[in-house]
Copies of this chain bind each other. A is one copy, B any other.
Amino acid sequence: MSKIDYIKTSEIFKALSNPIRLQMVDFLLDDECCVTDVVNELGISQSASSQHLSILKNSGIVYPEKHGTRTCYKVNNKLTKEIINLLKKINND
Q: With A13-B17, A13-B22, A86-B79 in contact, is A30–B1 under 8 Å at CB? A: yes
Which residue of B3, B10, B19 contacts A7 across the interface (Cβ within 8 Å)? B19
User: Residue A54 at the B interface, CB < 8 A?
Assistant: no
* Total identical chains: 2
**Nearest-CB distance from A80 to chain B (Å)?**
10
A20 surroundings in chain B (CB, below 8 A): 6
**Nearest-CB distance from A65 to chain B (Å)?**
19
Whether B10 and A26, one on each chain, are in contact in the complex, defined by CB atoms closer than 8 angstroms, is no
A-to-B contact residues, CB < 8 Å: 1-14, 16-23, 26-27, 30, 41, 60, 77-79, 82-84, 86-88, 90, 92-93
